[in-house]
Amino acid sequence: MRLKALFVFICLGFYFHESLAQSVKRVGAKASVATIIAHSSDLKPISQSTPMGFNASWQWMGTGQKNWEVCNCFYYLGIETFYYNFNNPSALGSAAGVAGTFEPILWRNDNWALSLASGIGLTYLSKVHDPVDNPENMFFSQPLSFLLFVAPTLEYRISSDWSAQLGLSYNHISNGGQKQPNKGMNFPAIRVGASRYLSAQDLPRYEKFPVSTAWQYYVEAAFTTKGRDDGSGRRAVLSLAGESFRSVTAINAFGAGLDVGKDYSLEQGQSFWPSLTVAPFVAHHFTLGRIDFSQWMALYLHKPEGYDDHRFYQRYVLRYKIGNAFSAGVGLKAHGHVAENIDLRLGWRF
């Protein structure tokens, strides 16, 4: 759990070694109103509330050539604190926490900018599932959980010091399969806010890297842990994936591969073949320089008996390219709207 939590700050660690001399800094605040998606029938009664949220952020943008080369764009890195009141105090309570954020600018002119903010962090939940006192809450089962979000945002520059923002965010809270029940909560929201620029400068122009249309290949190993059903502790869950993919535009690539996993928390864990999952997948890659966010759709060809009723699963993987061949990142595996686990991943591209 603590190992996974460190990933909240990995992206910040990749970039904060750069000099802060050439940079843009800003602080901001946003308010949001959301709706809860009831992704199963037993969640509908408890999903009829309207969550309200507030967040405050500090962001930094490096404007040097090395910063630009990370994603072929200018981008903000930051820290965001957040609070959500789910407007159901007896069953859902509230969520508060902190997240690391990454926000590349996709388009801009003199007054307007379109960006894609994203973040991952830790949240404390005031109400969780209890079979006696809170049986309706199947969203959360432990107070300390993960928050992930993505938020396309439109910004209007009011003056040299101030700007206003309007955005849509898709938020997900779960414990990453650490404890059951873990159906997780998905709640899209409308966000309105303002930012105050502490330092600003005209952004220089740099040339983008040429896009390669050649086929690329990689192998990737992943590690996480999972609790056993008998309560005897946690066991390793390992996976190995290989994929071939090809860029079709500057920021889009498509590919296909094979994902093989072994879950040592299962009763069949002492026997090799019964505890394996084998699944071919197709994938889309959203690429920004050294950053790759991929989404897989996989079909189980083989899985342990009684493992899960689903035939398909999704995996969402965020990677950072290190040098010319290696990458490090984190992945989230889910069946529909229900997250199964979060893992750490190391890859080699050739």
* Candidate CATH numbers 1.10.1060.10, 2.40.160.20, 3.20.20.100, 2.102.10.10; the one for domain 2-199: 2.40.160.20
User: Which class does domain 216-349 fall in?
Assistant: mainly beta
Copy the structure tokens of residue 72: 């072929």
What is d(CA 280, CA 268) in angstroms, rounded to the nearest whole number? 22
**Phi, psi dihedral angles at 36 (to 5 degrees):** -95, 130
Q: Which residues of the chain carry a pLDDT beneath 50?
A: 1-20
* Closest-CA residue to 193 (of 27, 20, 21): 27
Domain extents for the chain?
2-199, 216-349
Copy the structure tokens of residue 32: 């949001």
Residue 231 has what pLDDT?
66
Q: DSSP code of 33?
A: E
Q: DSSP code of 324?
A: T
Residue 40 has what pLDDT?
75
Question: pLDDT, tens digit, for every residue of 208-241?
Answer: 777 777 899 999 999 998 877 666 778 889 999 9
What is d(CA 39, CA 28) in angstroms, rounded to the nearest whole number? 32
Q: DSSP code of 134?
A: B
Q: Which long-range contacts (CB under 8 A, 24 or more apart) does 81-84 make?
A: 81/55, 81/56, 81/57, 82/53, 82/54, 82/55, 82/121, 82/123, 82/147, 83/53, 83/54, 83/55, 84/34, 84/51, 84/52, 84/53, 84/171, 84/187
Q: DSSP code of 306?
A: T
- Angle CA 315–321–325, to nearest 5: 105
**Residue 222, CB half-sphere, CA atoms under 13 Å: how many?**
29
